Structure 1
Amino acid sequence: MKNMRICAILLLCFCAAVMICGCTGTSSEQTSPEQGATTATATPAEKIQVKVFHAGSLTGPFEKLKAAFEAEFPNTEVLLEPAGSVDTIKKVTENGKPADVVASADYALIPKMMVPDHADWYLTFAKNTMVLTYTNDSKYADEITAENWYDVLDREGVRWAFSDPNSDPCGYRTPMVIQLAEAHYNNDQIFETLLGEHSDITVTEENGTYTIHATEPNPDSTTLTIRPKSVELVQMVQSGGLDYAWEYRSVAVQNDLEFIELPAAIDLSDIEYADTYATVQIECKKGDGTTIYVGAPIVYGVTVPEIAEHPEMGVAFVKMLIGPTGQAILTEDGQPPIVPAGGYGSIPAELTSLVAMKA
């Protein structure tokens, strides 16, 4: 009996000790010296995640812009998600993925695919140029020029590539450049030699307009390779897996690639040749059907979608992009900024001082 009483006393002492510890030593509460009251310890605030969906060719400048933005807004974390511009926009319009910023390598995709249901404004903010990239180890690197590039690509053993016309503007612009080359070089076999013989991409002509059919490219993957995004081809050229790849000039500059600068009449860079560029168009897949992209100068566009979770931060990111910081970054990366940016639709008030409104 005595032993049982001792055990009971010890048990009561143990329980009391546990209760005392539970009320003091493990508490996460503190007394506020200002209020004289007990309050819970604050946990560090989570950063606002600013989601930016963008064309792959903007990866270099946008990584720099991300660093500048996070420095100015330390409560944010910019999440960059590159892809072909068509796929970038589809993430929002078809998959319902929220983005705070959408930036396309073809500004015309925004009014075509997003306005009015997914966005009510957009800006044009940068230009670019189509070039043919290579390294000093590429076959015939010491011979290729702006006058013979199409002959070099047709030589035995040369491997070249571009991105998927159905996913990426750089991809649908490449066949346009090749078709435009026929008139410029007075050679009506360039398209057939480079594309017709190595893929299922074809072209038809009616009343002076050439329509390229690229819904099912099916490259031979020996001479011609096609990948979803143009930036995927950079490493293949650098590693020697490809001799040449079609890219934007900015991508070549950012990755220290050699490149052939083409005549303005075919490189899609100059508004003076807008009517010439418009003589070619390309048919690509869109959902269960098809769509037509018409040749035009390369102009980049940006918007904040209606589905944005943090639209105010999206607008702030765009403001930095079109302001002095973004202009300097784009210039350094070989991508001429449009100053002031061109504005369409219901431009947010925060941006109007940096924008020239267009019809």
Structure 2
Amino acid sequence: MHETAGVPRRAFLSAVGAAGAAGLAGCVGGRAGARGADDDSVAILAAGSFQHALETGLKPAVDVPIRVEAHGSATVARMVAEGQRDPDIVTVADTALFEDPLSPPWYATFTSNAVVLAYNPETAGGRRVAEAARWYDPLVAGDVRLGRTDPDRDPLGYRTLFTLELAGRHYDDAPALREVVPDRRQIYPETALLGEFETGSIDAAFAYRNMAVERGYDYVSLPDRIDLSDPAHADRYATVSYTLPSGREIRGSLIAYGSTIRRPSEAARSVFAAHTTGTYLDESGFLRRDAFPRYEGDVPAAVRAAVSGDRSEQTAADRTSPR
């Protein structure tokens, strides 16, 4: 199925330019991880696929100033673990990164996503994807300039490989797609991936559904047996894996975003509540379920109270929670 979000292309390009500039400023200056003596803002270090949603959806929805820095989630985890960044809130696109290397005392799983094949209908390669009876045929034939992210740096990269492997098994007439489609020249940073459409560098890209929806790009929805979005197929997803340079093996699983507060404060809890439950998630194309947010570990009472919106409970929790 081909789906199109109704956002004008010019509006999309302007939004990408603004968000990209903001993200680049954060990456270069490290502002989302730095702390100033008189700084009352909340710093969020987040998965690259969340950058646009945080800048355009969360920021206008809260009263607290927010500073955002975005990278691939594996890079985010490494920067925090190695002490390169010290943000108030950390959000990653794979909760496995909270098991290793971050290991926070608690975190919330709060949204999901799906892997899709986004394409640019204004290029010859993009039109080949749009017109293909089988979406993978032009990729196998090499008729499309494809973009994807680095599996060593972020979950979207290894989830793309998982999707290709699962697709190779799912379609009776497909070759081993994980072996024949990937090429190192296809790799771009997650925060810049879809922006490559603007420069004409690529025709199509494996992306998260939200990345295509919030930017107004056409995309091919993939079967739920391979797009890592459906809990009913979790056992199937677990049959694929990728080994990181560290030697750690990542197994396929349902896409799950996690977030935690590292520097407790009333402002951070307020932002965290909006970040993990706000309607901007739906508007940005993320997938939410009734069970979200789901907590792991020793969650502070003040955090639960902030998320639930219980004023009396929050007041009581604030008396005993660290600030």
Same fold (TM over 0.5): yes
How far apart are 1:66 and its partner, in Å?
2.1
**Could you tell me which residue of structure 1 aligns to residue 316 of structure 2?**
none
Is the partner of 2:253 in helix, strand or coil?
A: coil
Q: Which residue of 2 aligns with 1:319?
A: 273
SS of 1:174's equivalent in the other structure is helix
Aligned mate of 1:55, from 32, 43, 47: 47
**Structure 1: segments with no counterpart, 5+ residues:** 1-44, 199-218
- Among candidates 138, 160, 163, match of residue 149 of structure 2: 163
**Inter-partner Cα distance in structure 2 for 1:269 and 1:147:** 23
Tell me what 2:294 maps to.
342
In 2: Cα distance, 1:47 partner to 1:99 partner? 12
Tell me which residue corresponds to 1:150.
136
1:333 corresponds to 2:290: no
How many residues matched? 267
1:205 corresponds to: none
Q: What TM-score, normalized by structure 1, do the two folds share?
A: 0.70
Contact 1:164 1:226 in 2 (8 A): yes
Matches of residues 283-302 of structure 1 in structure 2 within 5 Å? 283-286=243-246, 290-302=247-259
Residue 79 (1) aligns with residue 67 (2): yes
* Larger Rg over CA atoms: 1
1:236-255 equivalences in 2 (<5 Å):
236-255=196-215
Deviations 1:180-203 (A, max 9, x none): 1111002343233213xx4xxxxx
Q: Please, what is the CA RMSD of the aligned residues? A: 2.0
> Is the 2:47–2:73 contact (alpha carbons within 8 Å) kept by the matching residues of 1?
yes
Instruction: In structure 1, give the amino acid aligned to 2:285.
Output: G
- 283 and 175 in structure 1: CA distance in 2 versus 1, 3 angstrom threshold: same
Equivalent residue, structure 1, for 2:12: none
Post-superposition offset of 1:260? 0.5
Show the 5 A alignment for 1:1-359.
Answer: 46-63=38-55, 64-69=57-62, 71=63, 73=64, 77-115=65-103, 119-144=104-129, 148-186=134-172, 187-195=174-182, 198=183, 219=184, 221=185, 225-227=186-188, 229-286=189-246, 290-305=247-262, 308=263, 311-323=265-277, 326=278, 328-339=279-290, 340-352=292-304, 354=307
SS state at 1:337 partner: coil
- What is the CA-CA distance between 1:47 and the residue it aligns to? 4.4
What amino acid is aligned across from residue 113 of structure 2 in structure 1?
N
Cα distance in 2 between the residues matched to 1:79 and 1:299: 23
Shift in alpha-carbon separation, 1:156–1:102, aligned structure 2, 3 A: closer
The answer to whether the Cα contact below 8 Å between 1:249 and 1:334 also exists between their aligned partners in 2 is yes
Greater per-residue helix proportion: 2
- SS of the aligned residue for 1:57 comes to helix
Q: Report the alpha carbon displacement of residue 231 of structure 1 after superposing the two structures with TM.
A: 3.0
Q: If each structure's strand is expressed as a fraction of its own residues, which one has the higher value?
A: 1
Aligned pair in 2 of structure 1 residues 188, 157: CA closer, same or farther (>3 Å)?
closer
Q: Distance in 1 between matches of 2:270 and 2:144?
A: 46
The DSSP-based 3-state class of the residue aligned with 1:91 is helix
> Do the aligned residues in 1 keep the contact of 2:92 with 2:259 (CA within 8 Å)?
yes
Q: Please, which moves more after superposition, 243-252 or 179-188?
A: 179-188
Query: Is 1:231–1:251's contact at 8 Å kept on the other side of the alignment?
Result: no
Distance of 1:233 and 1:248 partners within structure 2: 11
Contact 1:55 1:104 in 2 (8 A): yes
- C-alpha separation in 2, matches of 1:95 and 1:185: 45
